[in-house]
Amino acid sequence: MALEGLIGKKLGMTQIFDDRGVVHSVTVVEAGPVTVTQIKTATKEGYDAVQVAYGEKKKPNKPMRGHFKKLGDFRMLKEFKTLDGVEYAIGDKVGLEIFSEGDLVDVQGTSRGRGFAGGVRLHHFRGGPKTHGQSDRHRAPGSIGAGTTPGRVLKGQKMAAHMGSEYVTAKNLKVLAKDEAKGLLLLEGAVPGATNGTVTVYVAQKQRKIAKKKK
Amino acid sequence: MDVSNLVELSSNPNIEEFGPGDTVKVSAKVVEGERERIQVFEGVVIRKNKGGGGANFTVRRIAHGIGVERTFNVHSPRLEKVQVVREGRVRRARLYYLRGLTGKAARIKEKARV
């Protein structure tokens, strides 16, 4: 444990057996490697963090190239905090060594976009009756407020809106296996986002709290 | 999409190659309370399902006059051994038609030996 997380890619799901013969649904995530591009300090930037770069970009623009110097051409940047006071230098590569089997992780990703969705799909409204002379009311939201008092629709009223394409965190997923040669993590359960989507794998908040208590 | 090709699957050397129509002897571990023992199930393979880590096959036999089908996971550590007793000659991959047949009609011809 050192860097609090890694940037990675969701590759898809499959099933594996454990020693007892129990099947686990797992998501395969290719995490890292990331390259340290900048160290932010409390004295200079006002807070401590490590900026890392991930992926490949064929044609990074000039400001980006200047920032990366000779380190390579990367696709994206992200900042992480460090845990346990480990210090990094610019150019360091960080990979799966920060996780071990049995660890809990939180995974952040952008959920699949579902477009403009109605109340039934977005908020699990029940819709209207299907029979008894109903027309055009089958998936309608129903009443959205009272009459003259208050004379307006209250703020926060659930209505049809855009669904998905938002940041979602799946918490406390267990690392069932890891393959350092291929850079793969097998996480128990589902991870937000589509296959080939970018995800961020963090050391689980719950695990950090446990580690803190032990100290 | 299934990405089982990225994950290494355990390959059991005690599993012989077999196909639908073959009569096989399957040894599977069964947990009974504290202890573990091996149970043998012999019958005709009526289907094989591919699918990476979830690959399985179904064996059918007639036990005490009642048809019994058991599905085994190919990659399960509980599956000890699969032996081919007899190779059958069949013309389809899924032998569901055997469910409607009994006695002499439910026999499968043996594959001609080369």
Domain segments of chain B as ranges = 12-98
Q: Which residues of A touch B2 (CB under 8 A)?
A: 12-14
What CATH number belongs to A5-113+162-214? Answer: 2.40.30.10
B58 Cα to chain A: minimum distance (Å): 18
Residue A201: band (very low, low, confident or very high) from pLDDT cuts 50, 70, 90: very high
What percentage of residues in chain A have a pLDDT greater than 70?
Answer: 99
Contact B2 A184 (CB under 8 A): no
Average pLDDT over residues A140-164: 94
Q: Answer whether the bond into residue B20 is a cis peptide, omega within 30°.
A: no
Q: How many beta carbons lie within 10 A of that of residue A134, not counting itself?
A: 12
- CATH class, range B12-98: mainly beta
How far is the C-alpha of B7 from the C-alpha of A177, rounded, in Å?
10
Q: Please tell me the pTM assigned to this model.
A: 0.81
- Report pLDDT for A91: 84
pLDDT (tens digit per residue) in A19-57 = 888 889 999 999 878 899 888 888 998 988 899 999 888
How far is the C-alpha of A17 from the C-alpha of A176, rounded, in Å?
10
B48 Cα to chain A: minimum distance (Å): 17
Compute CA distances A185 → A136, B28, B46, whole Å. Answer: 49, 30, 36
Average pLDDT over residues B84-109: 90
Contact B3 A23 (CB under 8 A): no
Residue A1: band (very low, low, confident or very high) from pLDDT cuts 50, 70, 90: very low
Contact A14 B2 (CB under 8 A): yes
Tokens of B91: 């013309």
From the list B3, B6, B76, the residue facing A17 with the nearest CB is B76
For residue B10, what is the nearest residue in chain A, using CA coordinates?
Answer: A17
- Report pLDDT for B27: 93
| Mean pLDDT of the residues in chain B | 87
Domain boundaries, chain A: 5-113+162-214
